[in-house]
Amino acid sequence: MESLETAVQRASRLALSSSFLRFGAVGVGGLVWDTATVYALRGLIGLYAAGAAGFIVAATLNWIFNRLWTFRGGAHAPPGAQWLKFMVANTIGFIVNRGLFYILITHSPLCYRVPVLAIIGGSIAGLGFNYFLSKTFVFR
């Protein structure tokens, strides 16, 4: 017979994994929005500024979908305050994400020609930081 503590731990792991999977699914959408923004703006404002704009667009849309779907069961702060909290919390993920993005497009001719490769690399690098901070700070 499974102890109550073991059952609670198992339920906690399942909740973590399902919210992480939803967070990851939203992140894939963010990757698409980020990529579309970078490709749409790079000819107008340059690749580096387009990368910053892409992050802001993707982060904002990710916040909306995480609020409505990933962390829908929790109590939420007012939208403006929570969005700001999400952006502040994701500054660490931004540094990791866009740091790798800028390194890759600066030092890899392939990533400069095909920025989606640098966007994917940065997104994967920032995922863990963003999930942890979102779960423990923004959507708690």
- Three-state helix/strand/coil letters over 45-75: HCHHHHHHHHHHHHHHHHHHHHHHHHCCCCC
How far from 93 is each of 2, 71, 89, 101, CA to CA, in Å?
38, 19, 8, 12
pLDDT band at 104 (very low <50, low <70, confident <90, very high): very high
The residue type at 15: A
CA pair distance 24, 33, nearest whole angstrom: 14
**For the CA atoms of 68, 123, 117, 25, what is the dihedral angle to 10 degrees?**
-30
61 closest CA partner among 96, 37, 26, 85: 26
Tens-place pLDDT, residues 105-122: 999 999 999 999 998 999
Tens-place pLDDT, residues 87-100: 998 888 889 888 99
Q: What is the mean pLDDT of the chain?
A: 87
Answer whether residue 57 shows pLDDT above 70. Answer: yes
Answer whether residue 9 shows pLDDT above 80. Answer: no
Return the domain boundaries, the chain: 4-138
The CA-to-CA distance between both ends of the chain, in Å, stands at 32
Burial label for 65, CB within 10 Å (0-12, 13-18, 19+), is middle
Answer whether residue 1 shows pLDDT above 70. Answer: no
pLDDT band at 128 (very low <50, low <70, confident <90, very high): confident
Answer whether residue 4 shows pLDDT above 80. Answer: no
